[in-house]
Amino acid sequence: MALEDPSWKIFFEENPMPIGFHENVNLIKEFCQQAAMKKNRVALVTSGGTTVPLEQNTVRFIDNFSAGTRGSSSAEYFLEAGYQVIFLHRSKSLEPYFRHLVGKNIFEMIEVSPDNVAVGKKHQLELGKLAEKYQRHRCDLLMISFSTLSDYLWLLQATAQQMQILGPLALLYLAAAVSDFYIPASQMPCHKIQSSGGPLSLSLQLVPKMLAPLVTLWAPNAFIVSFKLETNETLLETKSNEALLKYHHHVVIGNLLNSRKVHVVLVDSNSPNAEEIRLSSSDLENGIEIEFKIVENLKIRHDQYYADHKTG
Ligand code: PAZ
């Protein structure tokens, strides 16, 4: 089992915790304690891609693909489903509610007269609905951001550990796109790599698989859902099944880069057959997002898990 491999511990010894780490952990701790007192469910939603810096004073970095659509929309649907949400996201990636405003020109949406500034008539309905949802849910939403792979892993570990207090009320939804390769801090040059040194060859180390300690040590009672991104359709179900067998968590959601907004495959440790979620043309016409269906589906699985694991 991957836990006997100490590489995940070495990772945390070798890569320093992010700036503001203790402040963030305190926020997460308080959020989880209050939710536990109220017996509320909490979903940790991870979102966006991690960066892998090439220099300590970072000018260049390698990035993982993810706009944060999956995470930010899912966070909204978890909130609608009655969960409190810790949104661990890549800084400046899409955020719940605010995502709907991306690409819109705020100055075109407001009307200014000599004695008043107001939302223009044609935007009132849309903005009003959005603002109402945001205001209704903002106290149940804790936003924590990361940029680098190392920041993300430190915060993931700490959040999972703080969520232990929630037992089976906790759900982890790991949609962030996390790099499999990195340069350890000790091997990173301090300053900007100079092009005068000629062509650049990079040697990246493998990132230890953190799902093993996450499932076994950090959040042993939580309901854990991971995502698997592939580009080759023939690998999707096999790779998702392999991840489930290897880490013994609860659900793996497989998706392909090009069809991820309309099709996913869910592999569950409790059922032999994979389940597909596919948006129909009428879903698309009605503006249904696939994350609505994913969260609806997971809520049922989490209900069952909670019924099977709650004590008292
Ligand atoms: O953020 P986004 O909506 O653009 O993309 C979502 C996603 C494809 C990154 C996510 O669904 C996913 O598969 N995350 C896990 C990626 C991985 O295998 O590391």
Q: What is the ipTM of this complex?
A: 0.99
**Closest residue by CA, ligand 1 atom 14:** 175
For ligand 1, say whether the CB of 227 is within 6 Å of any of its atoms.
Answer: yes
For ligand 1, say whether the CB of 299 is within 6 Å of any of its atoms.
Answer: no
Other CB atoms within 10 Å distance of the CB of residue 154:
21
64, 66, 94: residue to mutate for ligand 1 pocket, most atoms within 8 A of CB: 66
Sign of CA dihedral 86, 89, 95, 96: negative
Q: What percentage of the chain exceeds 90 in pLDDT?
A: 95
For ligand 1, say whether the CB of 255 is within 6 Å of any of its atoms.
Answer: yes
Quick one: which atom of ligand 1 is closest to the CA of 47?
Answer: 1
Quick one: which atom of ligand 1 is closest to the CA of 69?
Answer: 3
Q: Report pLDDT for 3.
A: 62
For ligand 1, say whether the CB of 240 is within 6 Å of any of its atoms.
Answer: no
Confidence of residue 231 (pLDDT cuts 50, 70, 90): very high
**Closest residue by CA, ligand 1 atom 1:** 68
Round to whole Å and give the CA distance between 79 and 67.
20
Decide if 1 is inside a domain.
Answer: no
Round to whole Å and give the CA distance between 291 and 289.
5
Q: Report pLDDT for 243.
A: 95
Q: Report pLDDT for 4.
A: 72
Q: Report pLDDT for 5.
A: 78
For ligand 1, say whether the CB of 69 is within 6 Å of any of its atoms.
Answer: yes
- Say if residues 174 and 46 touch (Cβ distance below 8 Å): yes
Residues 136-154 pLDDT 10s: 999 999 999 999 999 999 9
Round to whole Å and give the CA distance between 229 and 254.
6
For ligand 1, say whether the CB of 177 is within 6 Å of any of its atoms.
Answer: yes
Quick one: which atom of ligand 1 is closest to the CA of 71?
Answer: 1
Pairing state of beta strands 223-230 and 170-174? parallel
Give residue 175 CA to ligand 1 midpoint distance, Å: 5
Does position 92 have pLDDT exceeding 60, yes or no?
yes
Residues 20-78 pLDDT 10s: 999 999 999 999 999 999 999 999 999 999 999 999 999 999 999 999 999 999 999 99
For ligand 1, say whether the CB of 70 is within 6 Å of any of its atoms.
Answer: yes
Average of pLDDT values for 91-97?
98
Average of pLDDT values for 266-284?
94
In CATH, what number is assigned to the domain containing residue 291? 3.40.50.10300
Does position 271 have pLDDT exceeding 90, yes or no?
no
Residue matched to tokens 């096999």: 238
Cα-trace Rg, the chain: 21
Q: Report pLDDT for 279.
A: 98
Decide if 283 is inside a domain.
Answer: yes
Q: Report pLDDT for 100.
A: 97
Q: What percentage of the chain exceeds 70 in pLDDT?
A: 99
Does position 81 have pLDDT exceeding 90, yes or no?
yes
Sign of CA dihedral 104, 107, 112, 116: positive
Residues 153-170 pLDDT 10s: 999 999 999 999 999 999
Residues 9-18 pLDDT 10s: 999 999 999 9
How many structural domains compose the chain? 1
For ligand 1, say whether the CB of 210 is within 6 Å of any of its atoms.
Answer: no
Does position 99 have pLDDT exceeding 70, yes or no?
yes
Residues 296-308 pLDDT 10s: 999 999 999 999 9
Q: Domain containing 202: what range? A: 6-309
Task: For the chain, give the DSSP string.
Answer: -GGG-THHHHHHHHSPPPTTHHHHHHHHHHHHHHHHHTT--EEEEEESBPEEESSSS-S-EEE----SHHHHHHHHHHHHTT-EEEEEEETTS--TTGGGGTT--HHHHEEEETTEEEE-HHHHHHHHHHHHHHHHHGGGEEEEEE-BHHHHHHHHHHHHHHHGGGGGGEEEEE-SB--SEE--GGGS-SSPPPGGG-S-----EEPP-THHHIIIIISTTSEEEEEEEES-HHHHHHHHHHHHHHH--SEEEEEETTTTTTEEEEEETT-SS-EEEE--HHHHHTT--HHHHHHHHHHHHHHHHHHHH---
Give residue 143 CA to ligand 1 midpoint distance, Å: 19
For ligand 1, say whether the CB of 224 is within 6 Å of any of its atoms.
Answer: no
Confidence of residue 269 (pLDDT cuts 50, 70, 90): confident
45, 46, 181, 227: residue to mutate for ligand 1 pocket, most atoms within 8 A of CB: 227
Decide if 188 is inside a domain.
Answer: yes
Give residue 95 CA to ligand 1 midpoint distance, Å: 15
pTM value is: 0.97
State the chain's mean pLDDT as an integer: 96
Decide if 54 is inside a domain.
Answer: yes
Round to whole Å and give the CA distance between 52 and 178.
10
